[in-house]
Amino acid sequence: MLGDSQRYEARRRDADAWLSRMETRLAAMTAPGHTADVLEMQLREQKSFHAEVHQYKHQIELFGQLTQRLIAVYRNDDTTRIKRATEAINHRYNELNNSIIARGKALHSAVSSLQNFDRSLEKFVAWLSEAESLLDAAERDPHLLKVSYSFTGHYIISGAPGDASFPSVGRRTPCATHASRHVTLPAAAMTEGAGRPRPAPPRKPDSLTLAWPRWDDPPPTRAGYKASASYY
């Protein structure tokens, strides 16, 4: 019995020391980085660390088998102490493994977010470049573009589709009878402080009779409704 007890205690001390080193190593790891090079280094470290912990799982299983054998052999003795010691070792190992898995998920999530940000930034830079080309064309030939003011506080700049100097910016208007290209800019971008004139918003009708029929007029046709709606 003394030899079995000593063998069990040696295995327990080895497992406890190994778990302490791994827990300290995990606690020293920094949070997921914000750049591609840092995340790549952290992922390599994470992969190596997880492989090392997974490799030690066999030793934890052997320690558990030793515990079960001692309990079976010394069933008439009090084995509560070794049961609790083995449960504590198993619990620490499972917590360590779960923490490593959670860190791996956090790192992969950070990589995915960084990739999505890079794609969005590329799209924005492309849009900004085309918008600058559009405004440069407007400075060279103000009659080339048509500027109108929307009720959302943005200026909509559109140009003739047949003009090769007008860049394709924004989306094509789906309800237009002819293809036109336009870009929507905030009103602040068209102020005098930006070096460009700010066009006045379109004048509203002086009377509702310009857009709506009088009560004594005959009922409007479908074409009349479309013409009235197209005014706005």
79-129 pLDDT per residue, tens = 888 899 999 999 999 999 999 999 999 998 888 887 777 777 788 888 888
Give whole-number Cα distances, 143 to 137, 139, 153, 170, 209, in Å: 10, 9, 23, 20, 31
Phi/psi of residue 35, each to 5°?
-125, 160
Structure-model confidence comparison of residues 55 and 221, the more confident one:
55
Residue 184: closest CA among 163, 169, 198:
169
Residue 70: closest CA among 47, 59, 86:
86
**Cβ atoms 217, 168 nearer than 8 A:** no
Give the pLDDT confidence score for residue 102 in this predicted structure: 94
Residue 63: closest CA among 80, 79, 85, 81:
85
**Cβ atoms 170, 185 nearer than 8 A:** no
- Angle, alpha carbons 111-117-118 (nearest 5°): 90
pLDDT at 174 over 60: no
Could you tell me which CATH number the domain at 1-117 has?
1.20.58.60
pTM above 0.95, yes or no: no
